[in-house]
Chains A and B, each alone.
Chain A
Amino acid sequence: MNHRTTTTNSQISLINNDIETNIQYLKKQQTEVTHLSGKRKQDLEKVISELKKDTEIKKNIVSALESKQWSTAYNLLAEENLKILEYEKKGQTANSSEEFIDAIKRELLIFRYLSSHNMQYEPTDFSTKGVNFFAWVSNNIIPYFFVLVSAFILTNFYLISYRSNGIIDTDSLIPGKNITKQFVKISVGIIFSLISVLCLFLVSFISATFLFGSGNLDYPYIVYTSKYNMHVEPLENLLLKSLPLQLLSLISTCLLFYIIAILVKNKLGALFVSLLLSTGVLFGISTLDPIQKISSFIPITYINSFSIVTGTLARQIENFQLSLTTGYLVVTSSIVLLSIAVIILNRFRGDR
């Protein structure tokens, strides 16, 4: 079992470690203070007094966490973070950095939200609770693993009627209009993908809920609106915005795989091109600068809809053109354009 499942326990143990360090330090300083005099003694006594206060607050936090008084606990933690943030802003610590200040700001926002909603903390990088795990799957599994698997399955399915190394399409022997047959095939692929992804969501949610609880749809997630601006939004809002975009993006991907399949005609070749243009591009978005610059115009980018809605991807690749509105525009346009491409290709393949 993931130790993060016992989130509160791990939080408590972290704070307890801090308390233990404080106590050790206090003992050392209390011994030292007896050998000092004058201003140095006064300074050290001040440090000792602050340490005692800090230890007391930490003990209060632990006690609030243990008694599940989330509002009190996270209010105290938020105050702690606020103090750290003030120190950092004044540059009073040696290891001040933008990343560290950002991290403190993020925690501060989350703790304030949790405190006002009297809600338990849940790590969002490796979520375990039902709805949080659902969001984690949407953000981490669908864009990579699911796209890879669906490329394999759909390429095989779309080329199942091709014989003699792709020379013959046996579908053309079946009565009916070719264009109708093609759109039926594409629709089956799309329905298969959508049902698979919904099943994946359902299984993830049910298994996580069964093991660790259902979580809370009000749980706060950090949303970046620019490199330095952030706020928190409840998970429910984010999912309602991101899921339709992700499903639309999957439809666009299915159409892309179909066009690649009928152009390449060979299963292995089509799979290679499909993976290059899907998984390859998705990895490229997080690693290759040229792709990052044009990523807002690439429909498959928006399969990362959750990290687009939260602004995480935009912040990571410094391209704030990536937004929900651009996503709907690009993905819907791509579906229309790819459908037109299917119709044009059908004409080229042509009925004599």
Chain B
Amino acid sequence: MMLTITNLDLKTNEFILQNASYTFETGTIYGIVARNGMGKTTLFRAINNLKKYSGTITFDNRPVTKARQDIFYFESENWLNPSLSGIDHLKFVQQAWHSTIPIDTVINYWKMQDYVKHPIKTYSLGMKQKLLIALYQLSDAKYLIMDEISNGLDESSRQMLHDLMTTFKSQGKLVLVSSHYKEDLTKVCDHLVTFDNKQLVSET
């Protein structure tokens, strides 16, 4: 069970990765650490087939299109529909990913009871970010790809996120999380991966 990147060429204006290969094992938390603009989001988009690349990216030897049910990627809180409520988003994810996790469990975990039925446009950044993490939690997907997911969270929520990531790991899921702050990831990640000379390199 793994996410395998083989001979990946990925570029925006210039190459971010060239002939890069890396294998991410399930039951592990990987932290992608890089400065702004180094290509963390572009890599995540390529993994999710949202960005053109050459090379191969497979999930358990399947292309991403055959493994959608096992992957959850929600790039940022900007993707939330401002006219819909938190509960609308949660119900949609539960249905689309055929999740058996009760919605109330995640609402209670993130203490969203007071605002989950309100439209997203009334949410603060922290509220949106909690909802976004709740969507990951509810999807129950095997591959969780999280881009700057701790943005806007206070200290206690950040700790709850770390606890949740550890739970994901114990459930045999693969967590791929990015951040500009190395110290944010060192606490919780098993491996830190960075971009070096257009390759993906482990830092451990």
Using a CB–CB distance below 8 Å, which chain A residues touch chain B? 160, 163, 167-170, 172-176, 178, 351-352
How many residues from B make CB contacts under 8 Å with A? 19
Name A168's closest neighbour in chain B (CB-CB): B50
Q: Select which of A160, A167, A168, A173 is within 8 A of B68 by beta carbon.
A: A173
User: Quick check: is B21 within 8 A (CB to CB) of the other chain?
Assistant: no
Contact A351:B65 (CB < 8 A) given known A163-B78, A173-B73 = yes
Query: Which chain A residues lie closer than 8 Å to B50 at the CB level?
Result: 167-169, 172-173
Question: How far is A351 from B50 in the complex, measured between Cα atoms in Å?
Answer: 11
User: Quick check: A176 and B96 within 8 Å, CB to CB?
Assistant: yes
Taking A351-B65, A352-B64, A352-B65 as contacts, is the C-beta distance between A173 and B48 under 8 angstroms? yes
Q: List 25 A-B contacts (CB under 8 A).
A: A160-B81, A163-B79, A167-B50, A168-B50, A169-B50, A172-B49, A172-B50, A173-B48, A173-B50, A173-B68, A173-B71, A174-B68, A174-B96, A175-B69, A175-B96, A175-B97, A176-B68, A176-B96, A178-B65, A351-B49, A351-B63, A351-B65, A352-B49, A352-B63, A352-B64
| Minimum Cβ distance to chain B for residue A321 (Å) | 45
The residues of A that contact B97 with a CB separation of less than 8 Å are 175
Give chain A residues whose Cβ lies under 8 Å from the Cβ of B73: 173
Residues of chain A within 8 A (CB-CB) of B71 are 173
Give the interface of B toward A (CB within 8 A): 45, 48-50, 63-65, 68-69, 71, 73-75, 78-79, 81, 96-98
| Distance to closest chain A CB from B16 (angstroms) | 16
Enumerate chain B residues within 8 angstroms of A351, measured Cβ to Cβ. 49, 63, 65
Q: Which of A168, A174, A175, A176 contacts B45 (CB 8 A)?
A: A168
Q: Give complex CA distance A351, B45 in Å.
A: 14
A170 to B79, Cβ gap below 8 A? yes
Q: Which of A170, A173, A176, A351 has the most CB of B within 10 A?
A: A173
Give the Cβ gap from A164 to chain B, nearest Cβ, in Å. 9
Task: List chain B residues, Cβ under 8 A from A170.
Answer: 79
Residues of B within 8 A of A352 (CB): 49, 63-65
Within the assembled complex, what's the spacing in Å between the Cα atoms of A321 and B61? 58
Given A163-B78, A170-B79, A173-B71, 16 other A-B contacts at CB below 8 A?
A160-B81, A163-B79, A168-B50, A169-B50, A172-B50, A173-B48, A173-B68, A173-B73, A174-B96, A175-B69, A175-B98, A176-B68, A351-B63, A352-B49, A352-B63, A352-B64
Which A residues are CB-close (under 8 A) to B65? 178, 351-352
A124 to chain B, nearest CB (A): 42
Residue of A whose beta carbon sits closest to that of B67: A175
Nearest A-chain residue to B64, judged by Cβ? A352
Q: How far is the CB of B108 from chain A (nearest CB, A)?
A: 26
Chain A nearest Cβ from B99, distance in angstroms: 11
In the complex, the chain B residue whose C-beta lies closest to that of A169 is B50
Q: Which 6 A-B pairs have the closest CB atoms?
A: A351-B65, A175-B68, A175-B69, A168-B50, A174-B96, A352-B63
Distance A167 CA – B45 CA, assembled complex (angstroms): 11
Minimum Cβ distance to chain A for residue B68 (Å): 4
Q: Which partner residue on chain B sits nearest A177 by CB separation? A: B65
Smallest Cβ distance from B58 to chain A, in angstroms?
10
CA distance A153 to B192 in the complex (A): 46
A176 to B92, CA, bound (A): 13
Closest to B72 in A: A173
B135–chain A nearest beta-carbon distance, Å? 11
Pick from B75, B97, B98 the residue with the most CB of A within 10 Å: B75
